[in-house]
Structure 1
Amino acid sequence: MTEDQGNVCVPAVGTMVLDKRRDRVGEVMDATASWVYLRAFGGGREWVTALEDVEPVGVHERLRARVAEVNAARQRQP
């Protein structure tokens, strides 16, 4: 999280955050003072969540997202 918008920090593009409402980890594609645009690692549909619903990810969440990406890539292979 980098930019400070009042009392709320806006995450920087490219960082990993946890969407607490959906319990999903995503990469920040864009962020405003109210909304964060996220995409799963390895691609997929972008989704939008409220700024207050995101938090920086810890090691556990980061690892979980990477394992999910590897598993999805393996399932796509013939």
Structure 2
Amino acid sequence: MDVDKLEVGSMVLDKRRDRVGEVMEVTTSWVYLRAFGGGREWVTALEDVEPVTVMARLRARVAAVNAERQRRP
């Protein structure tokens, strides 16, 4: 993926880990991602990310809402 097309806050698919993440930072070689809705950041190579489909974006948001509900008493 072209580094110019990635924006902080956008959602991408980490193909290597098969995980959707929110872009936190982009360098010329690396993309720093975090699970949508919070969580620990991870780093992946720029060539391992691609734009997410609408379905993958929805799935990530539902997972974040469900995780938040489980944290509440």
TM-score by length of 1: 0.87
| Runs (5+) with no aligned partner, structure 2 | none
Cα distance, 1:12 vs structure 2: 1.2
Compare the two structures and name the one with the higher helix fraction.
2
Corresponding residue number in structure 2 for 1:36: 31
Aligned length: 71
The answer to which structure, 1 or 2, has the higher relative contact order (CA under 8 A, 6+ apart) is 2
The C-alpha deviation readout for 1:5-60, integer Å capped at 9, x for no partner, is: xxx51111111000011111111000011100001111110000000000001101
Q: CA RMSD in A?
A: 0.8
Residue 46 (structure 1) aligned to one of 29, 41, 51: 41
Give the structure 2 partner of residue 57 of structure 1: 52
Say which one has the larger Rg.
1
Name the % identity.
Answer: 80
Instruction: Quote the Cα distance in structure 2 between the aligned partners of 1:42 and 1:27.
Output: 9
Counterparts of 1:66 and 1:42, CA distance in 2: 8
